[in-house]
């Protein structure tokens, strides 16, 4: 198969697999609701945690992370793309999640999908070192979430920590630059959600002062 066709097939496949709305499906199965009508109205795993419960949230999160990982694994297994090329298809998976045609192009933020795809790509580069990177990235995010109760704010620190760790683990400059651009795009997409959570936190602080 020529290169152009392999790129087109990989892009379409990554987009469509990324578009599978696991959070929407899980919420329907557990409570027969449209998750977009509740909570933050975001059809993502974080909203499923809040609205449906932790068991459903974990299942939705596994689905979202899994589709990012599986999409990269399949196209790598078939076409043997290098990690730099896989980074391009990672964004097709993320955009599939964000602009899901199965949800009238109203998808989630794409953080879990990106995380799953990055996990596989980094694994190709450093093997079990990917587990160490994942743990080091997750730690500050979990701490911020613990104190703020905001998943969005917790995730907002991830790009900075992740890029720093890529540098410390000796990843090449091109890989780091592509990754940085992709993470910047995700941060821009998350801005409305960060503003919303900051507004909610300000309200909580004001109430606590009045008590």
Question: Which residue, among 173, 21, 159, 43, has the nearest Cα to 35 in the 3D structure?
Answer: 43
Whole-structure pTM value: 0.85
CA 22 – CA 1 distance, rounded (Å) = 32
Burial (0-12, 13-18, 19+ Cβ within 10 Å), 140: middle
Q: Which pair of structure tokens corresponds to residue 24? A: 């929407």
**For residue 82, pLDDT beyond 50:** yes
Residue 19 and residue 101 in contact, taking contact as beta carbons nearer than 8 Å: yes
Which pLDDT belongs to residue 194? 63
41 phi and psi angles, rounded to 5 deg:
65, 15
pLDDT tens digits, one per residue of 110-163: 888 999 999 999 999 999 889 899 889 988 888 887 776 666 677 778 889 999
CA 71 – CA 34 distance, rounded (Å) = 26
CA 44 – CA 61 distance, rounded (Å) = 8
Which pLDDT belongs to residue 87? 96
Which pLDDT band, with edges at 50, 70 and 90, does 50 fall under? confident
Element (DSSP H or E) covering residue 130: helix 129-148
More confidently predicted of 178 and 196: 178
Residue 156 and residue 164 in contact, taking contact as beta carbons nearer than 8 Å: no
Which pLDDT belongs to residue 188? 86
pLDDT tens digits, one per residue of 1-15: 568 999 999 999 999
CA 133 – CA 160 distance, rounded (Å) = 13
Secondary structure tally for the chain: helices H, strands E: 10, 0
Q: Which domain holds residue 32?
A: 3-210
Number of domains in the chain: 1
CA 77 to chain centre: 22
Averaged over 40-48, what is the pLDDT? Answer: 86
pLDDT tens digits, one per residue of 184-205: 988 888 777 666 656 655 554 4
Which pLDDT belongs to residue 209? 47
Which pLDDT band, with edges at 50, 70 and 90, does 211 fall under? very low
CA 47 – CA 38 distance, rounded (Å) = 8
CA 86 – CA 92 distance, rounded (Å) = 10
């Amino acid at each position: 198969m020529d290169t152009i066709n392999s790129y087109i097939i990989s892009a379409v496949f990554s987009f469509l697999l990324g578009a599978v709305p696991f959070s929407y499906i899980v919420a329907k199965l557990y409570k027969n609701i449209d998750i977009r009508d509740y909570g933050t109205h975001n059809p993502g795993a974080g909203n499923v945690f809040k609205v449906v419960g932790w068991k459903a949230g974990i299942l939705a999160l596994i689905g979202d992370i899994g589709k990012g990982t599986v999409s990269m694994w399949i196209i790598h297994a078939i076409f043997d793309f290098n990690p730099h090329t896989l980074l391009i298809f990672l964004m097709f998976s993320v955009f599939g999640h964000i602009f899901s045609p199965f949800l009238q192009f109203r998808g989630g933020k794409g953080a879990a999908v990106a995380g799953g795809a990055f996990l596989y790509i980094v694994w190709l580069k450093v093997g079990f070192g990917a587990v160490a990177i994942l743990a080091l990235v997750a730690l500050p995010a979990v701490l911020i979430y613990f104190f703020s109760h905001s998943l969005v704010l917790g995730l907002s620190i991830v790009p900075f920590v992740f890029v720093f760790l890529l540098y410390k683990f000796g990843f090449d400059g091109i890989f780091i630059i592509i990754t940085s651009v992709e993470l910047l795009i995700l941060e821009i997409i998350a801005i409305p959600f960060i503003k919303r959570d900051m507004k909610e936190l300000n309200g909580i602080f004001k109430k606590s002062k009045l008590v």
